[in-house]
Amino acid sequence: MPTKINWADETINPVVGCTPVSSGCDRCFAARFASRGLTPRHRGLTKHGKWTGKIRLMPSELMKPLHWMKPRRIFVGSMGDLWNPAVPDGVVDEVYGLAGICPQHTFVALTKRPEFAIMYHECEYGTLRHRWAEAAKELLRISGLSDAQQDVVRCRNTIYDAGPMANVIIGVSVEDQDTADERIPLLLQIPAARRIVSYEPALAPVDWAPWIPIGLDGLVCGPETGPGARPCDPAWLQSAADQCRAAGVPFWLKKGTLPDGTCPQGWPT
């Protein structure tokens, strides 16, 4: 669906529901949204505005990008975490299979559980590619695309290209120094063409110097929003932007302007 997340053109949610893992989850916007019970897919997954730990799979979400011809940046999982241990590996296979047959799109997946992303990618690479190809074949089978359209999609297939899939960006979400120090080293162990960090909600200052020059391709920053939002010192965001500029790393400010009056919105290419 079209998204209010300004760095993405669309979101898809093959997984809905989650489990809190750190203080950044305390006021999760996705849990607040789901608690409204606006659609059946969200009902029963939250209690008092918090995730219950239940996970619901939404395979129909994976059909959407197959019908989008114009290139789009797609956030995969605004309402959950692909690498929640309760999510079957087959769902992640489907996301990679989808990316392989939709190389016109860029797929972005954020996680607070990079250790499980590492475990997923530890499988022998040829085996993973085979699983992705089988998942893509099944997605096409149930896609509703005409035979001619399916032929076009098959011709675009990049699943067996060498190296990590070029149109998949993997990132971790952090909120303070402790979560940055814990998650970013794990992110750097995940085989990915590009890696980013989402510093949102920014709840405390972070020194990015150990990480920005050695493998981060972008940094997305933003304060917590909504009623009762915890405070964010603009100096924390300015510091992050300055460190990115010095290293030539794209920086994206999700809301407002920095103390220097700028609103940088750079994205890794």
pLDDT tens per residue, range 218-240: 999 999 998 889 999 999 999 99
Q: Mention the CATH class of domain 58-253.
A: alpha beta
Picking from 192, 221, 228, the residue whose alpha carbon sits closest to that of residue 206 is 221
> Which residues make Cβ contacts (< 8 Å) with residue 221, sequence separation at least 6?
198, 199, 200, 202, 237, 240, 241, 251, 252, 253, 254
pLDDT, one tens digit per residue, over 108-145 is 999 999 999 999 999 998 999 999 999 999 999 999 99
* pLDDT recorded at residue 198: 98
- Containing 57, the helix (H) or strand (E) segment is strand 56-57
pLDDT, one tens digit per residue, over 176-213 is 999 999 999 999 999 999 999 999 999 999 999 999 88
pLDDT, one tens digit per residue, over 28-81 is 989 988 988 667 778 889 988 899 999 999 999 999 999 999 999 999 999 999
Q: State the pTM of this model.
A: 0.95
* pLDDT recorded at residue 44: 87
Does the pLDDT of residue 2 top 70, yes or no? no
Confirm if 121 and 170 have CB atoms less than 8 A apart.
Answer: no
CA dihedral for 165, 168, 174, 177, sign (positive or negative)? positive
pLDDT, one tens digit per residue, over 80-92 is 999 999 999 999 9
Show me where the domains of the chain are located: 58-253
pLDDT, one tens digit per residue, over 241-261 is 999 999 999 999 998 999 999
Cis peptide before 185, with omega less than 30 degrees from 0? no
What is the rounded CA–CA span in Å between residue 210 and residue 190?
17
